[in-house]
Amino acid sequence: MAVAARDGKAAAVRAPAAGGALTRLGRLIREVARRPAGLFGLIVICLLLVVVVAAPLVAPYSPYAQDIVHRLQGPSLHHLFGTDELGRDLLSRVIFGARIALGVAIPAVLIAMFVGLLTGLISGYLGGGTDQVAIVGMDAIQAFPAVILALALLAVLGPSLRNVVIVIGVALAPGYARVVRAMTRAAKQNQYVEAELSLGASTTRIAVHHLLPNIAAPLFILIAMDIPSAIAIEAGLAFLGLGVPPPSPSWGALLADGFSYVLISPWAIIAASAALMLTTLGFAMLGETLRDVLDPKLSGTRRRRKKR
C-alpha cells in the first residue's frame, strides 16, 4: 500500500525488528558505520576494547614497574609517551588506565540503568502517588551536579573501586529514570497497551513484553552517551584523590600526579588527557549517531518518516 511505498525511503533499522536479533544488530552497525561520526566512534571504541582486553599484551611494561633513574622523561623509543615521577612507563599506565576507566564506567552505567529502569517503569506505569514520590527522589538527586554528589557520598563511604562504581551509578540513575518514566508514560498511551489489558494481560506482562522493547532503543543511546560522563566523573574523583586508590593508574590520578610536575614534564598530562578526550569523543559520537539512526524524532532533523 501507499504506506509501504512511502516508508521505503526510511532507513531499514528504524522499522521495528525485521529479521532476527543478529541481523538487526548487523544492520544497525552498518547504518552507524555509514556516517563519519559513527564510524569514528566505532573505531575508537573497538580500539579501546582491544586495549582493555589485551592490556598486558599491548602494554610494553607493567604499569607499576618503577624506574627512578628514568623519571619524568619525554617520549623516546623506550617509553613512547615518556615516564612519570616514579619512572613508570606512561603508555602502559594509560593503557591500564583504560581498564579502570571502563571498569568503573560500564558497571556504574549499568547500575544507573538498572536502577533507573526499575524506578522509571514503575513510576511511569503506575503513576499517582508512587510517581510523585519517585519524582521528588529524582529531583533531590539531580539537584546536585553529579561530581559534587559523588564527592559527598564518597567522603562518607570512603574511596574504593566498588564505592566509586556505586556512587557514580547513583548519580547517573535519575537520568535513566526520567527517560524511562517519560517513555513509559508515552508508550502507555499507545492503544496496544489497552488492547493487551482487554485480553486480560497482567501488569508485569505488559511492562516486560510491550513497554520495555519500546524504550530499549533510547536507553541504548543514553548508555553510549553516559559512559563518557561516568569516565569523566571517575577521572574527576581520582584527580581529587577520592577515586580508585593509588597506585592504580586511573586517568584522573595520572592527571593529578602529572599536574604536580607539569613544569618539569607535561607528558603525563598530555597522555592522560588525550586518552580521556578520545574516549569521551568516541562514545559521544557513537551515541549521537545511534540517536540519529534509531530515533529520528529525537534528532529533529527528519520528520516526515513516521508511518501514517
Partner 1 sequence: MSDPLLTVAGLEVVYHTDAGTLPALSDVCFEVREGQIVGVVGESGCGKSTLGAALLRLLSPNGEIVGGRVMFAGRDLASLSSGELRKVRGRGIATVFQDPLTSLNPTFTVGQQMIDAERAHGQGRESKDVLRRRAIDALTRVGIPDAARRIRNHPHEFSGGMRQRIMIAIALLHEPSLLIADEATSALDVTLEAQILKLLKEINASHGTAILLISHNLGVIAEVCERVVVMYAGRAVEEGDVYAIFDRPLHPYTRALLAAVPSPQHRGTTLAAIPGRVPSLLALPPGCKYADRCAHAVAVCFAREPASLARGGLRVRCFLYDDSLPAADKPRADWAKAPGRA
Partner 2 sequence: MTADPQSGPLLSVRDLRTFFSDRQGVIARLLRRKSGEVRAVDGVSFDVVRGETLGLVGESGSGKSTLARTVMGLVPATGGSASLDGRELVGLRRREWRPLRRRIQMIFQDPASSLSPRFRVSFLLREPYVINKVPPDQQASVDELLDMVGLSAEQANKYPHELSGGQARRVSIARALALHPEVLFADEPTAGLDVSAAASILNLMRDLRDRLGLTYVLITHDLNVVGYFADRIAVMYVGQLVEIGLGDRILAHPRHPYTQALLACAPVPDPHLNEGHLDNVLGGEIPSPHDPPSGCRFHPRCKYADPRCTDEVPRLEDLGEGEMVACHHWRRLDLTPQPPVEATAAAAAVAQTTL
What are the residues binding partner 2 (CB under 8 A)?
A: 1, 3-4, 7, 15-18, 132, 190-192, 194-202, 205, 209-210, 213-214, 307
Residue 176 vs residues 116, 131, 164: alpha-carbon distances, Å:
5, 15, 19
The least distance separating ligand ATP from the CB of residue 3, rounded to whole angstroms, comes to: 7
Distance separating alpha carbons of residues 45 and 227, to the nearest angstrom: 11
Cell numbers placing 40: 569514528
Binders in 8-47 for ligand ATP, by CB under 6 A = 9
Is residue 9 a contact residue for partner 1 (CB under 8 A)? Answer: yes
List, as one string, the DSSP characters of 9-65.
Answer: TS-GGGSTT-S-HHHHHHHHHHHHHTSHHHHHHHHHHHHHHHHHHTHHHH-SS-TT-
| 18 alpha-carbon distance from chain centroid | 27
Is residue 188 a contact residue for ligand ATP (CB under 6 A)? Answer: no
Distance separating alpha carbons of residues 302 and 308, to the nearest angstrom: 15
The least distance separating partner 1 from the CB of residue 15, rounded to whole angstroms, comes to: 13
- Report the helix count and the strand count for the chain, using DSSP H and E: 14, 0
Using CB under 6 A, pick the residue from 6, 14, 70, 210 that binds ligand ATP. 6
Instruction: Please choose which of partner 1, ligand ATP, partner 2, none residue 85 contacts, taking the beta carbon within 5 to 8 angstroms, the exact cut-off set by kind.
Output: none
Cell numbers placing 287: 551515541
Is residue 5 a contact residue for ligand ATP (CB under 6 A)? Answer: yes
For residue 275, which of 252, 294, 246, 257 has the smallest C-alpha distance?
252
- Start-to-end CA span in the chain (Å): 12
Is residue 4 a contact residue for partner 1 (CB under 8 A)? Answer: yes
The least distance separating partner 1 from the CB of residue 2, rounded to whole angstroms, comes to: 3
Span interacting with partner 1, options 3-11, 34-42, 144-152, 291-299, rule CB under 8 A: 3-11
The answer to whether 176 touches 227, Cβ cutoff 8 Å, is no
The least distance separating ligand ATP from the CB of residue 236, rounded to whole angstroms, comes to: 45
Instruction: Please choose which of partner 1, ligand ATP, partner 2, none residue 205 contacts, taking the beta carbon within 5 to 8 angstroms, the exact cut-off set by kind.
Output: partner 2
The least distance separating partner 1 from the CB of residue 9, rounded to whole angstroms, comes to: 4
Assign 83 to helix, strand or coil.
Answer: strand
18 vs 148, which CB is nearer to partner 2? 18
19 vs 60, which CB is nearer to partner 1? 19
The least distance separating partner 2 from the CB of residue 221, rounded to whole angstroms, comes to: 17
Give the position of cell 513497554.
211
Q: What is the CA radius of gyration of the chain?
A: 23
The least distance separating partner 2 from the CB of residue 294, rounded to whole angstroms, comes to: 13
Max CA distance (Å), the chain: 77
Span interacting with ligand ATP, options 2-10, 198-206, 244-252, 268-276, rule CB under 6 A: 2-10
Distance separating alpha carbons of residues 119 and 135, to the nearest angstrom: 10
Distance separating alpha carbons of residues 169 and 146, to the nearest angstrom: 10
The answer to whether 294 touches 33, Cβ cutoff 8 Å, is no
Span interacting with ligand ATP, options 4-12, 13-21, 230-238, 281-289, rule CB under 6 A: 4-12
Instruction: Please choose which of partner 2, partner 1, ligand ATP, none residue 160 contacts, taking the beta carbon within 5 to 8 angstroms, the exact cut-off set by kind.
Output: none
Residues in contact with ligand ATP, total (CB under 6 A)? 4
